[in-house]
Chains A and B, each alone.
Chain A
């Protein structure tokens, strides 16, 4: 039997028996209330369309919530991105170079966070730009190809609107069914076994 947490149980108790949840605004209002801070892992690949859907919605001004600056302990970026931010060679920063990546130590808060705002706002790396999308989970399809699977935390209105838009898009394009715990199933009852590409 699937194991539901308390918020999922409450959502099932209220919404079991209702069809077409993805188009029910009252359902989404409840999701916002019950699933705040929940990490949602969708059977959807991080395609260009998904990134566009997200980046067009997540427009956080420099003085916004700062969650991305304090949530992570390490911030991974490419060497090019690190150079743009003048990280490499900066004696005040703790970082390590691993292959083509630079990993900046931001435990205790990001060193670029000054007076509650990002001092490198225009140069910040994709991890910060796309927060609260979490690092994609590498998943294998049944044909053994590896895909970056979308996972996102419901952290703020904007992230919630992104998840809602992506789920609605997936339901429409692939004729999927949405359950109250935000699980997606094919309408014939078969699993969404493979990572879908929107």
Chain B
């Protein structure tokens, strides 16, 4: 997993709440057996019309946001299905950071396993960032070490993050390798585990 610390880019303002993983990656694209190649299907039914042409009104298709690495959305981002194809599509498309007031649990966990930083800010702060980004392209710098989001206009927003996941993202660690260090404890647990015949 690619380590992450500082990401600076124009934001992509997706002013919607309850964005579910069916929208992020639709079921017809879940049949691949690889982790890569999902980026072109990200938000497919919002991005393209029935004939496969780009929908010019959808935010990802607007030229001013091309190359953006930071997605900003409303409450409960990533709700619904557990499909990790959703963060794979987000990462493959080029986003490294998602800013929202809240995230659905499974999606939130999935982000950490893939080197995506989910940043939780207060609702009014997200509203402010979205408003700026919708008016004209707005660039921010996200700094994981400092736990800050700094706007091009000097606005600074602080965020909290679980220290365990922070370390993991900063170092790009493989969680399974870390867990193997506790193998003795797993073995000991297995010996005393309650099992009925």
Question: Is the A/B pair a real complex?
Answer: no
